[in-house]
């Protein structure tokens, strides 16, 4: 017969582990860190650790290890910025931001975010999204978009919280973030 284990609480409220997880862990992270081509194995390991639902949300299909290895091995790294939050050298949250290709008519840059399941609800996606907005909109002066799956309520809420303008597409909802107006154009 299984015995019931009492969870330790602080002030009779939340379990101690939840308090530590929410208040301490985010401060122990390193980053945002800009990844390089030699970090591609860590990117593949991140997506494997994200599990099949995470890969399906990111790529539209549940890619396996070999497909991920092929994708990131052949990825033109000069056309992407990979920004990560690290814990003990392991990627726990990752943002992929596309760069405009020379001669491409697209003027915006697309950002995709991925947070490992055990690290969700700690504000890591917001931390990465804000860093992406700083890099793309404020530093480079370019608009940025995030494509959000219709079933991803937390990401939709985050995009709206950060000021994204929702536009409907076949893939889901696209949230557009425009760079701030120049100081001379502001009233």
Residue 3 lies inside a defined structural domain of this protein: no
CATH of the domain at 165: 3.40.630.30
Assign residue 141 a region (left: φ > 0; alpha: ψ between -120 and 50; beta: otherwise): left
If one counts the domains in the chain, the total is 1
- How many separate helices (H) and strands (E) can be counted in the chain? 6, 7
* CA count, 13 A, side-chain hemisphere, 11: 4
Is the overall model pTM greater than 0.85, yes or no?
A: no
Residue 1 lies inside a defined structural domain of this protein: no
Does the pLDDT value for residue 15 go beyond 70? no
Tens of pLDDT along 54-110? 556 565 555 677 887 888 888 888 888 899 999 988 999 999 998 776 666 667 888
Q: Greater confidence, 132 or 100?
A: 132
Cα dist. 172→37, 56, 61, 166, 168 in Å? 30, 14, 15, 10, 6
């Amino acid at each position: 017969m299984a015995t019931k284990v009492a969870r330790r609480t602080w002030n009779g409220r939340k379990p101690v582990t939840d308090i530590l997880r929410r208040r301490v862990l985010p401060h122990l992270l390193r980053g945002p860190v800009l990844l390089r081509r030699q970090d591609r194995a860590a990117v593949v390991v991140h997506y494997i650790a994200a599990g099949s639902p995470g890969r399906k949300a990111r790529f539209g299909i549940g890619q396996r290890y070999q497909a991920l290895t092929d994708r990131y091995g052949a990825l033109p790294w000069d056309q992407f910025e990979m920004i990560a939050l690290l814990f003990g050298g392991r990627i726990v949250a990752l943002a992929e931001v596309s760069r405009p290709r020379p001669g491409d008519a697209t003027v915006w840059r697309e950002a995709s975010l991925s947070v490992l399941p055990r690290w969700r609800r700690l504000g890591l996606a917001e931390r990465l999204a804000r860093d992406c907005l700083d890099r793309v909109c404020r530093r480079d002066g370019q608009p940025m978009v995030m494509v959000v799956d219709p079933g991803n309520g937390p990401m939709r809420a985050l995009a709206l919280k950060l000021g994204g303008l929702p536009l409907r597409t076949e893939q889901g909802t696209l949230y557009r973030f425009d760079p701030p107006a120049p100081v001379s154009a502001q009233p």
